[in-house]
Amino acid sequence: MQTIMGVIADDLTGGMETASMFVALGVGCGFVTRPELVASSAPEPVMVVAQKTRVIPAADATRQCASAAEALLGAGARQLFFKYCATFDSTDEGNIGPVTDRLLEMVGEDRTLFCPTAPAAGRTVYNGHLFVGSELVSDSPKRFDPLTPMTDPDLVRVLQRQTRAKVGFLPHRLVRHGGEPLRGYVEEAGGRGVKYWIADAIYDEDLAALATLAADWRLVTGNSPIVQHFPPLWRERGWLDSAPRKQALPAIKSPGIVLAGSCAERTLEQLAAFEQQRPVLRIDIASADGPEAAIGESLAWARQNLVSGPVAIATSAAPDGVSAAQARLGREGAAKFAEEILSRLAGALHEMGVRRFVVAGGETSGAVVERLGIDRLRIGAYQGPGVARATTEGDDPIGLCLKSGKLGPVGMFLPTLESMRRAEI
């Protein structure tokens, strides 16, 4: 079986969501966190390599993503998909532009698509501008992001600052109709040197038109929803069996916990909803004495409270709390401090018998998975933005829901942990 699409995800939450969408459509999908594992994995139509590259230095992100691309192309992938966040999380240094530059060079193409739209999550692009619901991204809470604040809604400008390639955009009037007018527009502008295309997209039908446009391109980039429109095109081409595949997950009966590092508004709302039913321990990074003290106190608290049901431990904070932590530790220092605490807690909680984890935040998820020594996952079916399950292999599986800080229903934490107690067939 040849790999049709190789997915390179810039964090684990996005990689998990993308994989879960394929699983929900009955498409076999492998998931690893290290490129060298691709060669030893069972062949599947889709293979996801999810790494923690979103906010590391651009040169390091480019190197790691190139390594993933090399492994996926070596496995015969017809097409690469570079997955990043719906809010185009990046800075003027990257990492979206530099990584794409390298991947496009590797596949030998002269054009690619940028499609961050996620209609179900209210992330859309119109006239090249990114919206979060009815707000421009620059007016949304995303402008306060501690690592990748988005203060410019014009994605053509944002991307052009990250790359030397000429950036254009596909207007909605053309995307809406698709077909030959859209292809002709790309071909004509490509003759004038445009290589990168920011795509207007508002509705799922727009994503379908864009998938049709790029079905035979060697590289596509964007957020996960567009991938749902590729399998029907693969079946039309005879690349994919028509019979859907099922991927079962085992039931896990152990204690469960939420670990939240995201400072997104949605994560704060989810913690508040969870706290109405179960205890939440909030760690104040701005005033914590150090990781050892914070971890020790948190474990003692968890031992006492886990006996009666799931609990949550969070370093999440509102913008004023984030500012205080950054003033004390620096922007990167505050983030690293939080990741160290939560990842080490995950390891200690696992030793205490915890096997069900909901982890909120892409960077936190990467740190937790690394601490737990997980490098392969069996992914369950997509259940909505930010909601999907996964388990490790073996006789003592760990259940995971790795979710973007910005996504998921407000009341998702407790039901998601409870769902892990049941097998998913």
State whether 55 and 196 are in the same domain. Answer: yes
In a domain, 247, yes or no: no
**Does residue 108 sit in the same domain as residue 152?**
yes
pLDDT at 245: 76
What b/e sequence results for 295-317 when a residue is b if at least 16 CB atoms lie within 10 Å of its CB, and e otherwise?
Answer: beebbeebeebbeeebbbbbbbb
For the chain, 425 residues long, give each residue's pLDDT as a single digit of tens. Answer: 789 999 999 999 899 999 999 999 999 999 999 999 999 998 899 999 999 999 999 999 999 999 999 999 999 999 999 999 999 999 999 999 999 999 999 999 999 999 999 999 899 999 999 999 999 999 998 898 888 889 999 999 999 999 999 999 999 999 999 999 999 999 998 889 999 999 999 999 999 999 999 999 999 999 999 999 999 999 999 999 877 777 789 999 899 999 999 888 999 999 999 999 999 999 888 777 778 888 889 999 999 999 999 999 998 888 888 888 787 778 778 888 888 889 999 999 999 999 999 999 888 888 899 999 999 999 999 988 888 899 998 889 999 999 988 888 999 999 999 999 998 77
- List C-alpha distances in Å: 332 to 57, 290, 327, 342: 11, 16, 11, 16
Query: Beta strands 356-360 and 399-403: pairing type?
Result: parallel
**Looking at the structure, do residues 54 and 172 belong to the same domain, yes or no?**
yes
Query: Rounded to whole angstroms, how far apart are CA atoms 19 and 41?
Result: 15
Three-state DSSP at 392 gives: coil
Residues 227 and 359 in one domain: no
Instruction: Show the tokens assigned to 307.
Output: 């006996």
pLDDT score recorded for residue 412 = 94
Q: In terms of DSSP bridges, do strands 219-222 and 112-115 run parallel, antiparallel, or are they unpaired?
A: parallel
CATH number of domain containing 260 = 3.40.980.20
Burial tier of 236 (Cβ tally within 10 Å: 0-12, 13-18, 19+): exposed
- Residue 285 located in a structural domain: yes
Q: Please give the model's pTM, rounded to 2 decimal places.
A: 0.89
- What pLDDT does 230 receive? 97
Q: Among residues 401, 143, 86, which one has the least CA distance to residue 265?
A: 143
Full residue range of the structural domain in which residue 273 is found = 256-419
Please check whether residues 191 and 322 belong to one and the same domain: no
Structure tokens at 379: 């992914």
Task: Find residue 359's DSSP bridge partners.
Answer: 259, 402
Cβ–Cβ < 8 Å for 371, 347: yes
CB atoms within 10 A of CB 367: 26
Q: Is residue 368 part of a domain?
A: yes
The answer on 263 and 352 residing in a single domain is yes
On whether the CB atoms of residues 183 and 177 are closer than 8 A, the answer is no
Instruction: Label the pairing between strands 166-170 and 194-199.
Output: parallel
- Domain annotation covers residue 354: yes
Same domain? 229 vs 293: no
Check residue 276 and report its DSSP letter. Answer: T
Tell me, yes or no, whether 224 and 269 share the same domain. no
When computed from its CA atoms, the radius of gyration of the chain, rounded to whole angstroms, is: 21
> Where a domain ends, among 168, 203, 236?
236
Domain boundary among 204, 236, 268: 236
Residues 395 and 265 in one domain: yes
Q: Decide which of 179, 202, 236 is a domain's last residue.
A: 236
The answer for residues whose C-beta is within 8 angstroms of residue 398's C-beta and 6 or more apart is 252, 350, 355, 356, 357, 372, 374, 391, 392
| Angle of CA points 132, 133, 135, to nearest 5° | 65
Pairing, β 129-132 against β 79-83: unpaired
Q: What CATH number should be reported for the domain holding residue 205?
A: 3.40.50.10840
How many Cα atoms occupy the beta-carbon half-sphere of 176 within 13 Å?
7
Which three-class secondary structure string do you get for 182-203?
HHHHHHHHHCCCEEEEEECECC
Compute φ and ψ for 391, nearest 5 degrees: -140, 155
DSSP state of 43: P
pLDDT at 306: 92
The answer as to whether 244 is a domain residue is no
Residue 425 domain-assigned (yes or no): no
* 276 lies in some domain: yes
Q: Is the domain of 400 the same as that of 309?
A: yes
Number of folded domains that form the chain: 2
Instruction: Judge if 102 and 226 occupy the same domain.
Output: yes
Residue 243 lies in a domain: no
pLDDT score, position 61:
97
DSSP string, 209-244: HHHHHHTT-SEEEE-GGGGGGSHHHHHHTT-S-SSP
167, 295: one domain = no
| Cβ contact 401:249 at 8 Å | no
Helix 204-214, helix 179-190: angle, nearest 10? 60
